[in-house]
Amino acid sequence: MLLSAAGLDTDGLRVSRYRRIIVSLIVVVILLQPYLKIMRQGPQGATEWFEVAGTATLACMAVWLISSPVSRGQPAPWLVLVPMLALSIGLFAVGGPAALAATTIAAAMWGRNSRTPLPAIVSAAVCAFAGLLLDALKHYPSSSIFAVLVLAPLAAFFAYSAARRAETLGALRRTRAELARAAVDEERLRIARDLHDLLGHSLSLITLKAELAGRVIRTDPDRAATEIGELESVARQSLADVRGAVAGFRQPDLAGELVAARQLLDAAGIAAEIASPETAGLPRELDSALAWAVREGATNVVRHSTATRVFITVSVDPVQAVAEIRDNGQSARSGNGLLPTSGSASSELTAGADRRATLAWPRPAFAGSGLTGLAERVRSLGGEISAGTAGGHGFLLRVAVPLSAPS
């Protein structure tokens, strides 16, 4: 998309350049045509020299103005426009009707380079007044006077309109290019966000299973073979997920992510309690957002906490759908509180903690882009996300998404 927009923008600039060249040639021919005979024979006398030199100067001024881009942010070139208008009136006064094109083109240049309609109106009025004055003094034909009264205002008006239209088209081309760049950046962000979430979960599970298989391969070869087989399955699924994310087709589903979260937490030796009512009727975007929340929450528990128990709850009411992932871990991200336990539950948690302690799993400080990407997804649907300690007991990730689309 970016390349296409950039190519169209380049084509537009090229067409504009060719248009300026063609208009410049037409202006030069129109200005010099009445004086071609004089130039072939050679100017005779001061009047003819003034007509030839003045017309050539006027043509150079017009070509320079046409080749210069017009921008509202820059002042009009008055040092060229004012002498040009005066010179055109002088040529009309000396050459008569033969120099009518001079006043018309001068008025057109004023219209083209005007930032507001006022200068174009002033130039047309000056040309019209000069025509009436010269008619009174030299008694030009009525057709010439009519032409100077009509052609100069029309030239100023059409040139002003054309310049503003060209300026608007240029702004549209630039806007289109910027929108294309923004779309590409957004797509890159989506791919990076999806790859982070997909690989963060899958690689965490792969690492845990590989380490566990390495620990038990001598004492329990059957268990090691099972772990290696599951590792291969997870790796293949991860590859398919990455391909789908890059292609833009893959969106996780909540039911699948709840199963994957239990698998990941079991492999890490973390007791998981998952409660999820009937969610089959959720819209696809909402189901996907909750699925990403479950995936991110489970992955963060394994990577960044010392939790031994995790509670995953998904609830739906008439207004919104909510996903909560709460753990009892002690880490830099959750403080030192533990969820209260007793009896057999305490023994189960202790066994899980001992199992996790055997794995050389790195637990860096809580930082990364996972929650940032999740927040972007949730907020795009009009939802809310919160993450932090829950009353001093563990860490809570909560995502709430309204059932109705944001207005």
Residue 331's DSSP bridge partners are 335
pLDDT of residue 399: 92
CA dist 100 and 221 (Å) reads 103
CB 381 within 8 A of CB 286: yes
225-235 pLDDT, tens digit per residue, is: 888 888 777 77
Of 76, 85, 66, the C-alpha closest to 114 is 76
Q: How far is CA 352 from the centre of its chain?
A: 48
Q: Would you give the DSSP letter of residue 49?
A: H
Residue 387's DSSP bridge partners are 397
CA angle 208, 214, 217 (to 5 degrees): 130
pLDDT of residue 227: 80
Q: At what angle do helices 100-113 and 45-67 cross, to 10 degrees?
A: 30
Which two tokens mark 363?
Answer: 């637990």
62: left (phi over 0), alpha (psi -120 to 50) or beta: alpha
135: left (phi over 0), alpha (psi -120 to 50) or beta: alpha
Kindly give the confidence (pLDDT) of every residue in the chain, 407 residues in length, as a single tens digit, with 9 standing for 90 and above: 444 444 445 555 676 778 888 888 888 888 888 777 777 777 777 887 888 888 888 888 888 888 877 666 677 788 888 888 888 888 888 877 777 788 888 888 888 888 788 888 888 888 888 777 877 777 767 676 777 778 888 888 888 888 888 778 777 877 877 877 777 777 677 777 777 766 777 777 788 878 888 888 888 888 888 888 887 777 777 777 776 666 555 567 788 888 888 888 887 788 888 887 666 678 888 888 888 888 888 888 887 777 888 999 998 888 888 999 998 876 444 333 333 333 333 333 334 444 443 333 333 333 445 777 788 888 888 899 988 886 666 888 999 999 875 54
Domains and CATH numbers, the chain: 2-177 (no CATH), 257-407 (3.30.565.10)
251-300 pLDDT, tens digit per residue, is: 677 888 888 888 888 877 888 888 876 666 788 888 888 888 888 888 88
E strands, 260-361, are: 271-275, 309-316, 320-327
Residue 401 has φ and ψ, to the nearest 5°, of -125, 130
Query: Whose structure tokens read 């999820």?
Result: 276
